[in-house]
Amino acid sequence: MLTRHRELVSMLEARRHVAAGHRITVEVLSDWAPADAATASSSCDMSSPQFMPVKSGMNVTLKKHSGGWWFGFDAAQLGGAKGWLPDVCFTLWVIHTAFSIDKIDPSADMKGQYLNLSIGDAVVVQDKWDEGAWRGWGRGTKRGSSTSGLFHLSYAVQKVISTSLWRIL
């Protein structure tokens, strides 16, 4: 019996793989649908203005990227859905340095809004800020729990769960 083999791959490696003309199939970690196509990032160089809504658990084959946007298709359906989707829906942030708001700002307001993270924890980020006062921060949920909150993205490295490889069981 053939089954998809899951492997944690760095986002940088995934970008290089796709830039070299290859494809990579990844597991979607959070649902995403465009609220309004007009709000799409201008950094997304789209040959087609189509967006692809995705559901957690789907496998999507990615074939090109532009900024934080990727063009791909549903790996389970030949000729199925295809389009642009943001990397936030399939990126896993793996903690490389323990994070606690007390270490950064012991007097911070709303301490309950922040995640406490240990090395090796993985976070699925729902929102990240690239500009303004919150630049470099993300809001996410610790994988395998319902604990969610804010943390600084510099404490983590971006990974994807590649399901491109097949293994015989």
Q: For 105-164, what is each residue's pLDDT tens digit?
A: 656 667 678 999 999 999 999 988 988 999 999 999 999 899 999 999 999 999 999 987
pTM over 0.75: yes
Distance of CA 97 to the CA centre of its chain: 19
150: β partners = 114, 139
Q: Where are the domains of the chain?
A: 2-87+161-168, 92-159
Widest CA span in the chain:
56
47 falls in which pLDDT band (50, 70, 90)? Answer: very low
Q: How far does Cα 123 stand from its chain's mean position?
A: 9
For 24-33, 40-49, 58-67, 88-97, which range has the lowest pLDDT when averaged over its residues? Answer: 40-49
- Tell me, what's the pLDDT at 15? 92
User: Which residues lie across from 26 on neighbouring strands?
Assistant: 60, 162
Q: What is the pLDDT of residue 81?
A: 87
Mind spelling out the 3-state secondary structure of the chain? Answer: CEEEEEEEEEHHHHHHHHHCCCCEEEECCCCECCCCHHHCCCCCCCCCCCECCECCCCEEEEEEEECCEEEEEECCCCCCCEEEEEHHHCEEEEECCCECHHHHCCCCCCHHHECCECCCCEEEEEEECCCCCCCCEEEEEECCCCCEEEEEHHHEEEEEEEEEEEEEC
pLDDT exceeds 90 at position 99: yes
Q: Which tokens belong to 155?
A: 């404490």
CATH class of 2-87+161-168: mainly beta
Query: What class does CATH assign to 92-159?
Result: mainly beta
Contacts of 10 by beta carbon, 8 Å cutoff, 6+ apart: 157, 158, 159, 160
What is the band of 67 on the pLDDT scale with cuts at 50, 70, 90?
confident
Q: Do domains 2-87+161-168 and 92-159 have the same CATH topology?
A: yes
